[in-house]
Structure 1
């Protein structure tokens, strides 16, 4: 069933606005992943992030989770799989990959997720994809390519990849699968309660790997810098990004919601310009000029008269 057909106009408007806000929060994770590379061990960083998310959300959904014990027992397998994909692989793997790649590369590689989401939706659940969505997706993809190639097609001949890039590609595939399953595995829990349960499942799933990391590397050193980094990851790309992503997936569906990742390279370049003083080149403007209308066509369902 079309997710937009079962959502109110107000829900759709909010979801479409969040489509342009949420990528900025996800971009924060990409930048922080690079900034904390070598500072906090990857699995420890992921564990601290998602344990923090659980602790932040519990005061708001703890009662609902207690009342929904039967639903949790029914859905626990789904919660574990989603926690493994969304918090384990998309958490620790991203931080591990960031050691040998850049924040910009992370954003660019994650921008392939929308195509993977579309393919997995069709393969696993036979989800339809309209001509309008195809046009919008093509425009958005062209915008991402304009940024990757810096407006010059010959750039593709000189692209290089690191082990970190391949790890991030695996995380992007995991994110695509998480996105599709999050929509199609129905849940009686609210968005906040479900996110809290998935995050807790992710923390539990990562415990064996965390134990190995502690034995080999040791615990992270806590100071003002590491505490600030973890707090940022908990609140912005943790609670904020995943909660709004779950809301959008519920009301727009995984295909339309996944397209927001096409904005990641644009937002990464914009953040680098604002915070680091890096130049915002003409190809960034070209990319934005293609991505923004592409997202509109791909996600906005015209009114029928």
Structure 2
């Protein structure tokens, strides 16, 4: 009997470490998936309106995720319906504000401003996770956040730190500030509100909430005289945004949060400007500079430090089989 119990404990410990390793791997991949959204945001103006793009993106993602998780969603239909208001809130934060409003802001503000504003999001998430969710955050992880943040700024200002004093703020920055705060709230609330649903089923439910919230805004845009006619390019943007930064990035981020905690995962967002620069170079033909190399030299070790647990936390996680 004792041998059987010990075998089960070893299995659960292995599963816990396996989830940890998978989450730590996804931590580095997720921002690369999100960087595809830079291409979408910069291509969308004049092709498809912000709310229509966001609605199509999450409707497509929701249909695919819902089909994959259909059995789980049906099994948990009662608990899911009871928590409808939570999925509407998460959908409004993650799909309306962090989706359509980013596309809206990108029409009038610059990539530098967007990156600078979004650099505050991981800090808000970390503070919220420590003060509101009670997560532990070591001095080593804090140092990692500071190092990674300095690397982000180095990439954004292209190595010219004096450029920070020359930033001009425009109306579009207001949309980005709202999106940045909404993303921090979205990340924290997902951790604050536990769900019986797995990562795929939960994201499908959030997509449904987001589509419901986006629908009236999308209908309003359709009726505007300035709205461009639907085209093949618009369809391609919707499909690209729905599959890669939609299903791929959001699912991976949710999985990582469940396995590692909100504060540790937040630091991975600092890879965004670095991956965005690489994506723009590979797809749009933009040039790379030494500031990307220097930024990477700060961001990568910074994220490594921020994402590593303290020995005590690591032992506790394995013991729980989380």
TM-score, normalised by the number of residues in structure 2: 0.88
Residue 134, structure 1, aligned to residue 132, structure 2: no
1:117-266 aligned within 5 A: 117-217=125-225, 221-266=229-274
8 Å CA contact 1:50–1:203 kept in 2: the answer is yes
Give how far 1:95 is off: 1.1
Q: How many residues align?
A: 301
Greater shift in the superposed pair: 141-150 or 262-271: 141-150
Q: 1:39: which partner in 2? A: 47
TM-superposed deviation, 1:268: 1.1
Does 2:88 match 1:80? yes
Q: Are the counterparts in 1 of residues 152 and 270 from structure 2 also a CA contact under 8 Å?
A: yes
TM-score when normalising by structure 1: 0.92
How far did residue 6 of structure 1 move?
A: 11
8 Å contact 1:144–1:287 — kept in the other structure? yes
Q: Equivalents in 1 of 2:234, 2:223: separation in Å?
A: 20
Contact 2:113 2:169 in 1 (8 A): no
Query: Looking at CA atoms only, which structure, 1 or 2, has the larger radius of gyration?
Result: 2
Give the 3 Å change call, closer, same or farther, for CA 194–69 of structure 1 in structure 2: same
Q: Distance in 1 between matches of 2:173 and 2:221?
A: 22
Tell me the equivalent position of 1:97. 105
The CA deviation string for residues 208-230 of structure 1, in whole angstroms up to 9 with x for no partner, is 22232233347652322111111
Q: Quick one: structure 1 residues 259 and 167, their matched pair in 2 at CA, closer, same or farther if it must change by over 3 Å?
A: same
Q: Is the 8 A contact 1:27 1:107 kept in 2?
A: no
Q: Secondary structure at the match of 2:204?
A: helix
Residues 7-50 of structure 1: per-residue CA shift (max 9 Å, x gap): 71111111111111110111111221121022111111111000
2:205 and 2:238 map into 1 onto residues whose CA distance is: 20
Q: Is the 8 A contact 2:93 2:186 kept in 1?
A: yes
Contact 1:104/1:265 (<8 A) preserved? no
Q: 1:183 to 1:266 in 2, by over 3 A?
A: same
What is the CA–CA distance in structure 1 between the aligned matches of 2:21 and 2:128, rounded to whole Å? 26
CA distance in 1, matches of 2:72, 2:307: 31
The answer as to 2:74 corresponding to 1:66 is: yes
8 Å Cα contact 1:15/1:251 also seen in 2: yes
CA distance in 2, matches of 1:210, 1:225: 18
Quote the Cα distance in structure 2 between the aligned partners of 1:185 and 1:7: 23
How many Å separate the matches in 1 of 2:14 and 2:188? 18
| Contact 1:50/1:238, CA 8 A, preserved across alignment | yes
1:73 alignment partner, SS class: helix
Cα distance between partner residues in 1 of 2:46 and 2:173:
17
1:279 aligned onto 2:296: no
* 1:53/1:199 contact within 8 Å kept: yes
How far apart are residue 155 of structure 1 and its match? 1.5
